[in-house]
């Protein structure tokens, strides 16, 4: 019996008994509200992550800026971004609490 035949048989058996796999069934039975919440959480996380990356790039630009006035303006933008991001932290924490199972 070749390796390919063994893999084919294993796949067939796994497909046959997938309905008894508790973890897969639990994952497949998510309600639409949970799926929407997951998507919203993913979007929020992606937005926060991209804002953090943009702020880091601005900080790098501010450190390399020769003009002090330009550096002050960039640093003010970074502080505003930081304030907006701090407002998003509680939302992310609530989403994380929902997703992390308690032990």
Q: How many C-beta neighbours within 10 Å does residue 30 have?
A: 11
Residue with tokens 């084919």: 8
What percent of the chain is modeled with pLDDT above 70? 77
Position with higher pLDDT, 12 vs 64:
64
Q: What is the mean pLDDT of the chain?
A: 80
For 72, the enclosing helix (H) or strand (E) is helix 68-99
| pLDDT tens per residue across span 52-101 | 999 999 999 999 989 999 999 999 999 999 999 999 888 888 887 777 66
pTM of the shown model: 0.57
pLDDT at 21 over 90: no
Q: If you search the block for the tokens 């998510």, which residue do you land on?
A: 30
């Amino acid at each position: 019996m070749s390796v390919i035949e063994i893999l084919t048989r294993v796949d067939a058996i796994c497909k046959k008994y997938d309905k008894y796999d508790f973890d897969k069934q639990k994952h497949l039975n998510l309600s639409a509200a949970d799926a929407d919440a997951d998507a919203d959480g993913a979007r929020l996380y992606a937005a926060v992550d991209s804002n953090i990356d943009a702020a880091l790039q601005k900080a790098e630009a501010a450190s390399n800026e020769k003009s002090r006035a330009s550096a002050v303006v960039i640093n003010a933008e970074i502080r505003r971004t930081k304030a907006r991001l701090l407002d998003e932290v509680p939302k992310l924490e609530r989403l994380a609490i929902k997703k992390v199972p308690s032990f």
